[in-house]
């Protein structure tokens, strides 16, 4: 059984990637949350699922956040922040959203494993989540390392926001869905 070997491998690689992040980049990303009118987020596949989880927690903190592609998402405009998530930095639909966001004069933050990708080149700020460079296809097929790493990265950003905002879990719970 390789279950524990896989868990150890994933945690080690994700920890290395998170440890390698520049705190100035993280701070710049967080500051952009407080400088924008509204936030939007987009990713596809498992990156999209991590993005939606992050959006939910940002909403619990009281931010105006929308998931692109949902029917209730308004038009992106000047003063807004678009957060895009793509391991490769080349995903077609993500690239299209980036280009449209730039045309609408939104600030663009990109979380990717490929800083110098076409998506990274469009960004106002790139968060280089360099996790999937040396992957083991048996333990982490496809984009597993990046996708799992993105989810953990986003949870760490939420913890940082909790601290900076003086928020509590109780106040977050008050914004949580009550009709479950």
Q: Read off the pLDDT of residues 107-136 as tens digits, 9 standing for 90 and up.
A: 999 999 999 999 999 999 999 998 866 677
Residue 127 lies in a domain: yes
Would you say residue 104 lies in a domain? yes
Please report the pLDDT score of residue 43 as a whole number: 97
Q: Given this model, what pLDDT does residue 141 score? A: 82
Per-residue pLDDT at 133? 66
pLDDT of 134: 66
- The answer to whether residue 180 sits within a structural domain is no
The whole-angstrom separation of Cα 103 and Cα 100 is 5
Output the pLDDT for position 140: 84
Return d(Cα 68, Cα 54) in angstroms, integer: 13
User: Given this model, what pLDDT does residue 171 score?
Assistant: 87
Distance between CA atoms of residues 9 and 6, nearest Å: 5
Residue 94 domain-assigned? yes
Domain that holds residue 60: 3-174
Of 31, 70, 103, 147, the active-site residue reads 147
In the chain, the number of structural domains is: 1
Whether residue 121 lies in the annotated active site? no
Q: How far apart are CA 104 and CA 101, in angstroms?
A: 5
CA distances from 101 to 23, 72, 128, 129 (A): 26, 17, 20, 22
Distance CA 76, CA 108 (A): 11
Cα radius of gyration (the chain) = 16
Q: Residue 139: its pLDDT value, please? A: 85
Q: So what's the pLDDT on residue 175?
A: 84
Q: Give me the pLDDT at residue 173, please.
A: 82
Pick the closest to residue 53 from 70, 41, 36, 69 (CA basis).
Answer: 41
Taking the CA of residue 172 as centre, how many other CA atoms within 13 Å lie in the half-sphere pointing to its CB? 16
Predicted confidence at residue 178, as pLDDT, reads 66
Q: Is residue 179 part of a domain?
A: no
Length of the chain in residues, anyone? 180
Alpha helices in 36-180 (DSSP H): 45-60, 92-103, 118-122, 144-165, 169-174
The whole-number pLDDT of residue 125 equals 98
Q: The domain that contains 15 carries what CATH number?
A: 3.40.50.10490
**Which regions of the chain are under pLDDT 50?**
none
């Amino acid at each position: 059984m390789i279950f524990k070997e896989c868990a150890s491998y994933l945690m080690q690689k994700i920890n290395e990637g998170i440890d390698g992040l520049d705190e100035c980049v993280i701070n710049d990303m967080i500051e952009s949350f407080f400088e924008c009118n509204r936030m939007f987020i987009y990713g596809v596949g498992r990156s999209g699922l991590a993005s939606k989880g992050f959006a939910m927690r940002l909403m619990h903190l009281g931010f105006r956040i929308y998931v692109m592609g949902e029917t209730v998402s308004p038009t992106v405009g000047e003063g807004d922040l678009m957060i895009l998530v793509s391991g490769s930095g080349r995903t077609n639909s993500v690239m299209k959203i980036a280009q449209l966001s730039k045309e609408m004069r939104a600030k663009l933050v990109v979380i990717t494993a490929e800083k110098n990708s076409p998506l990274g080149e469009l960004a106002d700020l790139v968060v280089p989540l360099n996790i999937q460079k040396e992957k083991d296809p048996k333990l982490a097929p496809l984009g597993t390392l990046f996708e799992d790493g993105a989810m953990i990265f986003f949870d760490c950003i939420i913890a940082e926001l909790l601290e900076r905002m003086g928020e509590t879990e109780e106040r977050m719970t008050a914004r949580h869905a009550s009709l479950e």
